[in-house]
Structures are given as C-alpha cells and as structure tokens.
Structure 1
C-alpha cells in the first residue's frame, strides 16, 4: 500500500517566515541539522546569528526562531533581487535547497515588480531582502527539502488590519506585495489588528501550492507549533502544522473530496442552455458536468444541470452558474469520490495516431481511445475516400 504525507496548516496567528521555520522544526526536530548545514553556507556578517528557542508561549509548548544582530543595520540591510540570486545560487547550498529558496524569492520579486511597475531584475528588496528574511527563506527551503514530497492543505488566512511601516512609508495591511501573492486565496477578518501574513509567509504558501481545504483524512502522526515574536490580543500568535499519513489503496484507487452542485432551469431556451453548459464545462475547477431534461412546474419542460467542482474554485463556478443561466438557487454539498489511477498516452493506427487512456482497475488494466480522435480519423478517412472518388471521375471524363 502506497502512502502519502499530508500537512495541514492552521494559521491561527498568521503566516510568517520565522513562524514557518519554527513550526517545521517543532514537527520535524530530526531535520534541525539540515537547517544548520544550509545556514552555514550563507556568508552572514559576524554580528548576525540565529537560534531556536523551545518553551511555553501563550500557554502552549512550541518553538520560536530568532535572528539576532548587533544592530538593526546588520539585520535589516537590503539586497537587490539579482544580488539574492547570486548569493543563494553560489554559496554552496544543496541544489534542491537553492532551487526552493530561489523560487520563493522569484515569487516575491514578481509580486513586488507588479505593484511597483518594474521588471523582476529591477526589484530592490527591503524588508524581505534583509538578512533575517534571507535566513528565514533558506531555513524553510532546507526543511522542506529534508521533509520531501508532501501535499499541503491550509485554512482561510487572517487578513489583519491597520498599517505597517516599510521603506516606502506606511502602507495598509495586507501590504501591496502580500495582497498580490494572496490573490485567489481565501481570507477573513477575525477582528485582530496588525500584519498577520507577511510577504515572505505569502510567498511560502505560493511555493507550497497549498490546497485551501482543511478537510483531510488519514492517520495523525504528529504536530508542530511555531510562534511569532508579537503578542496578539485574545489568541496565540501561532502557526500550527498537523502531519498526517494519507493512504492510496494498493488496489489502484484513491479518495478525494469535491463539491457537487445541482440546479434546475425551466425558463431558458435550449439554445441558451447549450451555450451555458459549454461555457461552464470549460471553467477552471469544473471536473464533470451533466445535463438532463425533466418535467418542471406548470407542465413546462425543464433542465437539471449537475456538476462536480474542485473546492477551491467553487465560488467562481457558482457565480458563473448564476451569470450564464436563469436559475435563482443552487444546491451544493461536499461529496467523497473514489478515483482509479489513470495514464494518458498515444497509440499508432494505420490511419494515424490516437490518444489512449489507460485505467488501472482491480480486475485488470483497460484501455480506451479518445472518441474525438476516432471521429477525427474517420472524417479524415472519408475526405481521402471522397478525394479518390473525385480523382477517378476526372480520369473517366478524360
């Protein structure tokens, strides 16, 4: 039986680079040496140092990750994006660690470039280019690389409120680059002020390609809690990780959760419904869509549309259903489904190649050619036959 690791992020206090480092270390203390080895590669100025603090914070056990310097200048001196690429790429970090760290900074650079209207290479990092942030990013990269293949889940993110001081002056929370990185992620206002998601934290979430759905199933293996340095009113400034072992059945099928949405329409023409169904079927996150006719109220002919959607896209899909059809209400709920493992390939025939889908069933593998490709080959064959007939008629006329 194959097993996969799931880690669920609970961003109670928020998400920041140092909090993620501390939570990962608390959940996987055996990888502290990987972190130390990676940070030893950085040419840190002598006053800059880091330490891991284990203790009780806000009444709970966990870790904090500190970066210290003799003065604010050493800790908060900034770098240009090109400088960081050179530094991280050529300081002797293991390739996997360097690749992850560079990806996190590339995401940050793209966000900064968008909000300032410059190119990636023109970006000058201030807060996120300081030594404390560089250490956080490399430390996270080292721990993620040591942990290995993992599926990441995350709950809704606290937006925070108020203002934060930057090198560009006071800006509203979330900061502009953070807002750019959080685009598309679920957020909420829990009434607690301050910066809750830092730019580094947001770029780490992007790097992890998180699924924003905390529903998960598996065997709980452990947890880790990382604390930030700031105190929050009414709650712990903590980021918690839950580490689970999911399973994929040896019989070849796996499980997941999707959203099933159903609605009825009886006051829209068949032509309009056909167009709406095509548009909905092509939307990101729509996994399947079916349409049935049914007897509706007042003896009218109606249509029932049912679709399966990925949870992270459900709001956009529901909005599109309201835009494209005349329905006034949609019923939806979470469902579990079992999925066979599948592979896609091609097969050569005497008429041309076709795409083939292989399904690994408990009773044995099955293969099926794509219907569109078969139709295409048939149409091509008819056209060739018609061309031959026309050519023969031309020769007879001659």
Structure 2
C-alpha cells in the first residue's frame, strides 16, 4: 500500500541533503549505485559517509566531480563573496557554462537509464518543475532554459538518486509542512541575487508550498530542493497522532547558523476506533464571487489556472444579479495557505472587485492513492473506505484515458476494466 514520508525542512532542503536522509532510512546502496551508473553522463563518482552536524550523527551523500565538471555550489567564499574571486575561477565558471544541459537532453538521459518507470517519472517531474521556474525567472521558454545549478552533473545525479531512493522505499505519500529559508544574497553565474533565489520563489508560488523566512544569513532552500518538495509533496500537514517507524538524517554541505540537516521520518498513523479511522475531519475554505461581465472563454481560463494552482475544486453556478442580469457565481475550494494565490488569480483574470471567504469544517472518507499493473499498464487509483469498512475504487481520470487509448476502447470500458481488476486482485 506504500509508505508515508515526512520531510522536516527546518534547515532548508537541497538535493544532496534529501538523498542522504533517504539513504539513512535504509535504501540499498548497491541498487542506487547501479541506477546512477546507468545514467549517460560522465565525470562523477559518489561517496556515502557518516558525519557530525551540530553533534548529531548524519549520513552524507557527496557527488565527486572531475576537474572538467567541477562547480562551486558548496564553496562558501564563492557563494557569498567573502573574498574576491580569481580570474582563473571566473574562467573556470565560464568553461562550465558549456556543460549545462536543457530539459530535452536531461529527459533523454533519464529515460535511457536503467531506473524504474516510477523513478524516471519522479525525476522528470522534478526537472520539469525546475525548467518552468528557471524559464519564468529568465523570461524564456522551458526548451530554451539551460540550467546552471540543475544542468550540472552533480545536480542530475542528486535528482536521479532522490527518485531511486523514493522508489526503493516505496514512498507513496510525502508530508512537507513548511520550507525554512534564509535571507541575504548568494552568487550565481549571472551575478549576486537575493535569497530566496528567483527559481525557489517561482516554485513556491506556482506549487503553493509554505515558505518560512528565518534570520539565518544564507540560502537554505536550493532550487533543486524546492523542486523535489513540490514534486513529491502529497500533504502539508501531519496527522494528529502518528508513530515514527524510522528516522533518517541527511547532512548539508554549506555551513550556516543552523544545524544544516534534513530529517526524514517514515510515519505510521496511530489508529483509533474503526469509524474514527475512516471518517476524518478537516477544515477547508470556500472563496466566492459573482461575475456578470466576463466571457465564457475568460471564465474557462480562470478555472484552468485555479486548478493548476492547486485548488481542490472550482465550479460555476448560474445566478441573477442586480437589474435581473444573468451572471455566474465562481466558487473555489482550497486550503487556507492557498487563499492568497487563488485570490490573486481571480482578481487578475476576472472583473470582480470583491471575494467572499467562508471557513468550513467537513467530514471526509479515508482515501489513499495507489497503483496497479493491468496488462503491463500502471494505472493510478483512489481507494476510499466507507464507514461500514467496505472499500471503493475510483480509477484516476488520466490513467483511464491513457488505458482506453492504448487498448482502443471507450472510457467507460477502460474504467470498468481497471476497477474490476482491482476487485479481483485485492
């Protein structure tokens, strides 16, 4: 049924920290090494050791690059400009500019590796999130982006390693409550930029992550770390009661005024009585506004943007307004931390001048996202548990349409085949 992972990002998050924390949870190193060796890139080797961070024993994952591929991601003097950078250092950085890869080349590297399909999907998702964030920062298309941090060999290895580790641990749910970030500036190949860096800000904005700015001087959240969190997060809050099965601690390389670790925990929710297990309580927000002077095309676009921003639901209700004018009431269901993003979209994309807010408690069935293999096809399904203990399977829309297209059958036939297969195999 998969496992639940909690990433505690109180000292930020980066690619190497995430790999180390997951390795510390018990990933088979030989499996990781085999997958990484299948990547069609050269100039690196990996090293896994134990280090002390703030007196704590932690796992350290290091990508060691040869001279041709070396970069300065962990060089504190370079990153924060404590000393003047030498001409050789500048020329070296210029030389590496030609080693950067775009999203199409990186996708090819991942797809041609011996990683599992699930690991490949995770890695590509991380890279696509990064591509969108970098494209927005530089004002170019995703295909034109040539990553600086991300396209470097060590970052490709970090992201691939994270995907392999998550797959080996069979992680299906990931809780990331908040990313703690520092302040100040950091040096990159374009010059000195503010922290949080633009790519991180773009990811946080687009994916609705929670960001907590601290008074630590430095970059705690790297673009790679933010993209990993955005790609794998399935929840932003912890269950009320939980049991910790295992703890992994990953060490960061940069030295800041904080522990510099990422703590990963495998969780198991503590069970109460059966009905309390199944019927869960949570709180959601409903945003409403009436619109009578927008076209159908505009309203359709607003709905698309709201769903892409992470809304739980968006719908329109026909209403009559002043002077019997026909109009639509736009309703958006979302989490409290998503309200600013949703309201920005509504104000920017419609003619409304006011939005109503309602906080509502709701009762929901216990549900989980799983997958099953049917005729060689991986289908994602949602499994809900009723108060009487019975379970229902709801195949996910994208999986149904893909299965229908592959087998040249109707959507209804594909939906029923997937559900019937689940009934037979459970």
TM over 0.5: yes
Taking the aligned partners of 1:150 and 1:170, their CA distance within structure 2 comes to: 38
Instruction: Look up the SS of the partner of 1:107 in the other structure.
Output: helix
Instruction: Look up the SS of the partner of 2:28 in the other structure.
Output: helix
Taking the aligned partners of 2:174 and 2:279, their CA distance within structure 1 comes to: 16
Name the counterpart of 1:238.
261
Name the counterpart of 2:9.
11
Name the counterpart of 1:371.
none
Determine if the alignment matches structure 1 residue 171 to structure 2 residue 193.
yes
Cα distance change of structure 1 residues 216 and 122 upon mapping to structure 2, 3 Å threshold? farther
Taking the aligned partners of 1:80 and 1:309, their CA distance within structure 2 comes to: 34
CA deviation after TM superposition for structure 1 residue 17, in Å: 0.2
Q: Which blocks of at least 5 consecutive residues in structure 2 are unaligned? A: 72-95, 292-302, 315-331, 347-352, 369-383, 393-426
Which deviates more from structure 2 when the two are superposed, residues 158-167 or residues 210-219? 210-219
Q: How does 1:37-186 map to 2 (within 5 A)?
A: 37-46=34-43, 48-71=44-67, 73-74=69-70, 77-183=99-205, 184-186=208-210
What are the superposed Cα offsets for residues 280-307 of structure 1, whole Å, 9 maximum, x if unpaired? xx983479xxxxxxxxxxxxxxxxxxx9
Name the counterpart of 2:227.
203
Name the counterpart of 2:30.
33
CA deviation after TM superposition for structure 1 residue 209, in Å: 3.0
Taking the aligned partners of 1:85 and 1:196, their CA distance within structure 2 comes to: 27
CA deviation after TM superposition for structure 1 residue 363, in Å: 8.3
Tell me which structure has the larger Cα radius of gyration: 1
- Tell me the number of residue pairs that the alignment of Structure 1 and Structure 2 aligns: 308
CA deviation after TM superposition for structure 1 residue 99, in Å: 2.2
Q: Is contact 1:107–1:203 with CA below 8 Å preserved after alignment?
A: yes
Q: Is contact 2:20–2:249 with CA below 8 Å preserved after alignment?
A: yes
Taking the aligned partners of 1:362 and 1:168, their CA distance within structure 2 comes to: 60
Cα distance change of structure 1 residues 36 and 337 upon mapping to structure 2, 3 Å threshold? same
What are the superposed Cα offsets for residues 256-293 of structure 1, whole Å, 9 maximum, x if unpaired? 4522679xxxxxxxxxx9959xxxxx983479xxxxxx
CA deviation after TM superposition for structure 1 residue 193, in Å: 1.3
Cα distance change of structure 1 residues 253 and 194 upon mapping to structure 2, 3 Å threshold? same
What are the superposed Cα offsets for residues 125-162 of structure 1, whole Å, 9 maximum, x if unpaired? 12211111011011001011112242111122223211
Q: Is contact 2:278–2:386 with CA below 8 Å preserved after alignment?
A: no
CA deviation after TM superposition for structure 1 residue 225, in Å: 1.0
Cα distance change of structure 1 residues 4 and 135 upon mapping to structure 2, 3 Å threshold? closer
Cα distance change of structure 1 residues 214 and 72 upon mapping to structure 2, 3 Å threshold? farther
Cα distance change of structure 1 residues 80 and 187 upon mapping to structure 2, 3 Å threshold? same
CA deviation after TM superposition for structure 1 residue 69, in Å: 2.3
Q: Which blocks of at least 5 consecutive residues in structure 1 are unaligned? A: 263-272, 277-281, 288-306, 343-357, 367-398
Name the counterpart of 1:221.
245
Name the counterpart of 1:339.
365
Instruction: Look up the SS of the partner of 2:192 in the other structure.
Output: strand
Taking the aligned partners of 1:121 and 1:318, their CA distance within structure 2 comes to: 30
CA deviation after TM superposition for structure 1 residue 50, in Å: 1.0
Name the counterpart of 1:301.
none
Name the counterpart of 2:216.
192
Cα distance change of structure 1 residues 274 and 151 upon mapping to structure 2, 3 Å threshold? closer
Taking the aligned partners of 1:126 and 1:341, their CA distance within structure 2 comes to: 40
CA deviation after TM superposition for structure 1 residue 95, in Å: 2.6
Q: Is contact 1:225–1:240 with CA below 8 Å preserved after alignment?
A: yes
CA deviation after TM superposition for structure 1 residue 206, in Å: 1.4
When normalised by structure 2's length, the TM-score is 0.62
When normalised by structure 1's length, the TM-score is 0.66
Taking the aligned partners of 1:316 and 1:285, their CA distance within structure 2 comes to: 13
CA deviation after TM superposition for structure 1 residue 250, in Å: 7.0
